[in-house]
Amino acid sequence: MKTIEVADAVAKIPDGATLMIGGFMGVGTPERLMDELVRQGKRNLTVIANDTALPGRGIGKLVTAKLVAKTIASHIGLNPETQQQMIAGDMQVDLVPQGTLIERIRAAGCGLGGVLTPTGVGTVVEEGKQKVEVNGKTYLLETPLRADFALVHAFLADYIGNLAYALTARNFNPVIAMAANTVIVTAENIVPTGVIAPDHVVTPGPLVDFLVAHE
């Protein structure tokens, strides 16, 4: 784990990269990384996240700046700009049931070849997917989702990258931290190693590649 300035962290992300971004309607999203992605004008990004938040908040900033070519999300309903760009054909949007999305990410992070879920059977979600019967029940085979980068926001980070989260800001963060080649973290509080008790560490330090220094 290395500490890094926010500009240097984002400089590592090339145009066209696939990013997993933590947060649920912007809660638990690394806002400083969003602002810096906009400032550096990254292009043609693929975003994998629960939602695209609202204009001016979280991932919504990337949408407004037209940095996103493709979104894989469960919900875009509260961001009219995402819907406009989708309808205009400027952004490809793959909508995935929320429980399936998080399990596809978890599967990638855990080295699984996919997950079997009953969600989506008999709906448009099953189109093009393999159906598997187990003990008489039908499931969809949903494949793993990986990313080049996971952009994570934690409540506490220690000097070796152990992370703990706050309340509902946890959401996708610890799961995406398992499923990307490079994990970049911002934290509300950076604390000396040992301050987070072992039982309270949610994301183990060795998963984190870069911890963004405070301004």
The identity of residue 208, as a single letter, is V
Q: Which is nearer to another protein, 18 or 100 (CB)?
A: 100
Tokens of 189: 């509080």
Q: Which of 37, 48, 114, 155 binds another protein (CB under 8 A)?
A: 155
Q: What is the DSSP string of 178-200?
A: TSEEEEEEEEEEEE-TTSS-GGG
Contact between 145 and another protein per CB under 8 A? no
Q: Which of residues 60-89 bind another protein (CB under 8 A)?
A: 73-78, 83, 86
CB nearer to another protein: give 3 or 119. Answer: 119
> How far is Cα 110 from Cα 112, in angstroms, rounded to an integer?
6
- For residue 145, what are the contacts with CB-CB under 8 A and spacing of at least 6? 20, 48, 72, 101, 104, 105, 107, 108, 179
What is the distance between the alpha carbons of residues 211 and 129, in angstroms, rounded to a whole number? 38
Q: Exactly one of 172, 183, 185, 210 binds another protein (CB under 8 A); which one?
A: 172
Among 10, 53, 187, 208, binds another protein (CB under 8 A): 53
Binding region for another protein (CB under 8 A): 24-28, 50-51, 53-54, 73-78, 83, 86, 95, 97-100, 102-103, 106, 117-125, 155, 165-175, 202
